[in-house]
């Protein structure tokens, strides 16, 4: 069965404390892996798409990487405004989402 698992469920960081979020997947025929950010009361907002193992993408303090079995979202020197739920999803004929990691960054 196609499955996407994210860990940890929740993460509390001090401002400036770097960390990584994990997304592991078991799917056949991966066409792409997506990272989204979701703020309370809002829909998910697109961050990155990764297509093949070894690929990396960066945006400000965020960097996403992909292997054959998992993806990491690295957050370098986070700020309070990075607080959100981060969702990963794999593309089959539609997106299959993980349950997300709720990140809180404290000043």
Partner 1 sequence: GAGVSQSPSNKVTEKGKDVELRCDPISGHTALYWYRQSLGQGLEFLIYFQGNSAPDKSGLPSDRFSAERTGGSVSTLTIQRTQQEDSAVYLCASSLGQAVNYGYTFGSGTRLTVV
Residue recorded with tokens 């739920």: 85
Maximum pairwise Cα distance, the chain:
42
| Cβ distance to partner 1 smaller for residue 32 or 74 | 32
User: 94 Cβ partners below 8 Å, 6+ apart?
Assistant: none
**Per rule CB under 8 A, count of chain residues that contact partner 1:** 23
Q: Which stretch binds partner 1 (CB under 8 A): 19-27, 38-46, 64-72, 74-82?
A: 38-46
57 binds partner 1 (CB under 8 A): no
Closest CA relative to residue 50, chosen from 63, 28, 33, 37: 33
Among 14, 28, 42, 54, binds partner 1 (CB under 8 A): 42
87 binds partner 1 (CB under 8 A): yes
Are the beta carbons of 88 and 35 closer than 8 angstroms? yes
Binding site for partner 1 (CB under 8 A): 4, 31-32, 34, 41-46, 49, 51, 87, 89, 91, 93-100
């Amino acid at each position: 069965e196609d499955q996407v698992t994210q860990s940890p469920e929740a993460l509390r960081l001090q401002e400036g404390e770097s960390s990584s979020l994990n997304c592991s997947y078991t799917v056949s025929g991966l066409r792409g892996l997506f990272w989204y950010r979701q703020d309370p009361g809002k829909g998910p907002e697109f961050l990155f798409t990764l297509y093949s193992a070894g690929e990396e993408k960066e945006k400000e303090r965020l960097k996403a990487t992909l292997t054959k079995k998992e993806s990491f979202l690295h957050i370098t020197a986070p700020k309070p405004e990075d607080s959100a739920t981060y969702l990963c999803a794999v593309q089959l004929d539609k997106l299959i989402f993980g349950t997300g990691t709720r990140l809180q960054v404290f000043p």
